[in-house]
Amino acid sequence: MNKKNLIGIFGGTFDPIHYGHLRMALELQQCLHLQEVRFIPCQKPVHKKTVYATPEQRLHMLQLAISQQPTFLLDDREIKRITPSYMVLTLESLKKELGEASLCLILGIDAFAGLPNWHRWQEIFNLCHIIAVQRPDFTIPSSSQIASILQERQITDSHGLQNKPSGYVFLMKSTLLQISASDIRHQIANQKNPRYLLPDLVLEYIREQQIYLDA
């Protein structure tokens, strides 16, 4: 059986990108031997009402944050797309572009638990594997639909991701830095210094552009 190249797909608002995002992506890339991790900021988030920075500002912050990590790539296809940022559409586009590579969608365990609320969510398993990053304070209810999906699709050896183009779920432990974009925005709005929570280049850009002052 031919081994598949694995490509991590990391979507979100990244409003702003911070070290919690970056450290998790690096650990997953190394532990799962991902060829690359694509950061895909959304244009119109489906499950979040408010975005504070503009799409162009979020793109620029991401570019600054990942510029020194060659295995991290910025993908702007959702920013360019005028339709809502449905992940199934993004994955379809990526599959057409990347061919035989296996896509690995990176989700927090809480986002994974909410998967049945996503647009055309059942089709996602035909397009990618899912890497669900665990949190010690979050447990999937045993009677939930997601628990049934785990029973059907979960693998415990990450090497199995290379043997099939899509359809598996792998639960991953990662260093969970207690950093949130909302807290960073709150600190900036209250004239506090969020240094060491996000890259200095990103913080400098936020100050230059005067982003989040009213967040």
**Please, which residues bridge with residue 22 across strands?**
none
d(CA 118, CA 70): 31
* 64, HSE (Cβ side, Cα atoms, 13 Å): 20
Q: How confident is the model at residue 1 (pLDDT cuts 50, 70, 90)?
A: very low
Q: What is the pLDDT of residues 116-148, one digit of tens each?
A: 999 999 999 999 999 999 988 888 888 889 999
pLDDT, residue 171, reads 96
H/E element, 93: helix 87-98
pTM strictly above 0.85: yes
- Judge contact between 59 and 76, C-beta under 8 A: yes
List of domains in the chain: 6-177 (3.40.50.620)
Mean pLDDT of the chain: 94
Sheet of 169-172: strand order equals 72-74, 36-41, 6-12, 102-108, 129-133, 169-172
Q: What digits encode the pLDDT tens for the residues 74-84?
A: 999 999 998 88
